[in-house]
């Protein structure tokens, strides 16, 4: 799960990492009032879950409260990569002397957290990594031993020479490492970590992604979820306990298992269609899940055919068939629904589905081709 910059800064601030004063607002008048309160030039920063906000015009400098008001007016409601800006962070602008990068991610290969620092901050770190990898220093941390003071200090020396700044950066790196563990982060990032004219070291941007698997024990973070910024169908799917990702195509997919769901999408593309979504109904056999899945998919006007692909293991095909019958009763789909059910209780399922007389596919490839074909016919 991603949280917004302002929320990440709240977490960092609570951990003792210096961030500039700031608050999130939803209207220009509040932006004006805040700028007056701070009595300093401010930054007006759009809060949306995409990278490249600055390049898109979603981050601006305001010399005066009036300017902050005008800019907030402009940015709120702005569209950045398909997302509408609903909130802006108004935060005190810093005089920047240097810009560095500090980030911690989980390294899958070594099964350890890796801390990365670079004195080339403020820009896209992936670009730095690709073009000038020598500018990034990495430290793999033993998760059982934890991060030692000297290790953090070594990293700080990669960024600064001035002793007081090295000390401050050491402290920030140690605290950031604690944040990584304490909130079950999969990524924490300060880009840039700046030094200002007063010689202070400050995090002027903050990024924080949380491991979804840990949300059950990160209640405070889980409440930071910004449902407004998500696709409504993805919210509905999550509430229905379905794993779902909205895509742009015309073939709706209902599958059991993530790997098979991805494969089904791949084959839709391979045979000339375009998947409308990723959807995994999971291992359980609850017929209601099929109804919810159908509802979500059919609410997408682009969908021209629905493809149901089940390989029964724990999932019982007859349960899915009952779900399909219930979905037909409740939703009366006006696009073709093509089914392939194989594995546990396949024969029972086929008996149940006789009631609705649906086109069947025998293999994965068959059912995909059939769905694409029928989708086209219906459109004509």
> Cα–Cα–Cα angle for 213, 140, 214, nearest 5°?
10
Interaction between residue 359 and another protein (CB under 8 A):
no
- State the nearest-atom distance from the C-beta of 79 to another protein, in Å: 18
Residue 134 CB, nearest approach to another protein (Å): 18
C-alpha dihedral (121, 125, 128, 131), degrees to nearest 10: -170
Alpha helices (runs of H) in the chain, residue ranges in sequence order:
5-14, 28-38, 65-75, 125-131, 149-159, 163-182, 219-222, 232-239, 258-270, 287-298, 317-331, 346-353, 364-379
User: Could you give the string, one character per residue 285-314, with x where binding to another protein holds by CB under 8 A and - elsewhere?
Assistant: --------------------------xxxx
Stretch that binds another protein, among 7-15, 76-84, 92-100, 254-262 (CB under 8 A): 254-262
φ, ψ for residue 8, nearest 5 deg: -60, -40
Is 266 one of the binding residues for another protein (CB under 8 A)?
A: yes
The number of helices, as runs of H, and strands, as runs of E, in the chain is 13, 17
In this structure, are residues 320 and 294 in contact, taking their beta carbons and an 8 Å threshold? no
Residue number with CB closer to another protein (47 or 209): 209
261 is a site residue for another protein (CB under 8 A): yes
Cα(320)–Cα(286) distance, rounded to whole angstroms? 8
List the x/- string, 217-246, binding to another protein by CB under 8 A.
x-------------------------x-x-
Count of beta carbons in the 10 Å neighbourhood of residue 293: 26
Mind telling me the catalytic residues?
Answer: 101, 189
Dist. CA 170–CA 157, nearest whole Å? 9
Q: Does 97 participate in binding another protein (rule CB under 8 A)? A: no
Please tell me whether residue 266 adopts helix, strand or coil conformation. Answer: helix
Contacting another protein (CB under 8 A), which of 77, 82, 108, 131?
Answer: 108
| Contact call for residue 184 and another protein (CB under 8 A) | yes
**213 is an interface residue for another protein by CB under 8 A:** yes
- Considering the complex, state which of residue 270 and residue 302 has its C-beta at the smaller distance from another protein: 270
360 binds another protein (CB under 8 A): no
Indicate which single residue of 364, 367, 371, 374 sits in contact with another protein (rule: CB under 8 A): 364
Burial environment of residue 257 by CB neighbours within 10 A (0 to 12, 13 to 18, 19 or more) = buried
Find residue 52's DSSP bridge partners: none
Distance (Å, whole) CA 280 – CA 310: 10
Q: How far is the CB of 300 from another protein (least distance, A)?
A: 16
> Contact with another protein (CB under 8 A): which of 237, 265, 337, 349?
265
Judged by CB under 8 A, does residue 262 bind another protein? Answer: yes
Contact between residue 258 and residue 243 where contact means Cβ atoms under 8 Å apart: yes
Shortest reach from residue 180's CB to another protein, in Å: 8
Among 256, 285, 292, 322, binds another protein (CB under 8 A): 256
The answer to whether residue 280 forms part of the interface with another protein (CB under 8 A) is yes
Give the interface with another protein as residue ranges (CB under 8 A).
106, 108-109, 111-113, 126, 142-144, 181, 184, 186, 211-214, 216-217, 243, 245, 247, 255-263, 265-270, 275, 278, 280, 283, 311-315, 342-344, 363-365
């Amino acid at each position: 799960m991603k949280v917004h910059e302002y929320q990440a800064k709240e977490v960092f601030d609570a951990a003792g990492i210096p961030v500039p004063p700031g608050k999130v607002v939803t209207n220009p008048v509040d932006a004006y009032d805040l700028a007056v309160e701070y009595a300093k030039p401010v930054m007006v920063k759009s809060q949306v879950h995409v990278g490249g906000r600055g390049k898109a015009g979603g981050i601006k400098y305001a010399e005066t409260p009036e300017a902050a008001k005008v800019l907030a007016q402009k940015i709120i409601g702005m569209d950045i990569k398909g997302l509408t800006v609903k909130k802006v962070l108004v935060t005190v602008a810093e005089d920047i002397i240097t810009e560095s990068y500090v980030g911690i991610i989980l390294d899958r290969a070594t099964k350890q957290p890796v801390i990365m620092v670079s004195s080339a901050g403020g820009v896209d770190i992936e670009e730095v990594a690709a073009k000038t990898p020598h500018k990034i220093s990495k430290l793999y941390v033993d998760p059982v031993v934890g991060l030692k003071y000297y290790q953090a200090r070594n990293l700080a020396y990669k960024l600064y020479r001035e002793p007081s700044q090295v000390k401050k950066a050491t402290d920030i790196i140690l605290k950031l490492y604690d944040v990584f563990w304490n909130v079950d982060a999969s990524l924490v990032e300060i880009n840039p970590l700046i030094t200002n004219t007063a010689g202070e070291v400050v995090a002027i941007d903050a990024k924080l992604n949380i491991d979804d698997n840990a949300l059950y024990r990160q209640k405070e973070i889980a409440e930071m979820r910004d449902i407004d910024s998500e696709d409504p169908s993805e919210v509905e799917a999550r509430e229905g306990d379905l794993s779902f990702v909205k895509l742009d195509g015309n073939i709706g997919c209902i599958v059991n298992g993530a790997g098979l769901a991805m494969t089904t999408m791949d084959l839709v593309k391979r045979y000339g269609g375009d998947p409308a979504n990723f959807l995994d109904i999971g291992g359980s056999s609850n017929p209601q899940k099929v109804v919810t899945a159908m509802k979500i998919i059919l609410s997408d006007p682009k969908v021209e055919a629905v493809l149901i692909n089940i390989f029964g293991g724990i999932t019982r095909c007859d349960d899915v068939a009952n779900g399909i019958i219930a979905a037909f009763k409740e939703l009366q789909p006006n696009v073709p629904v093509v089914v392939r059910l194989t594995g546990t209780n396949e024969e029972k399922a086929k008996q149940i589905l006789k009631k609705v007389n649906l086109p069947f596919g025998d293999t994965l490839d068959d059912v995909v081709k059939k769905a694409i074909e029928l989708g086209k016919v219906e459109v004509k």
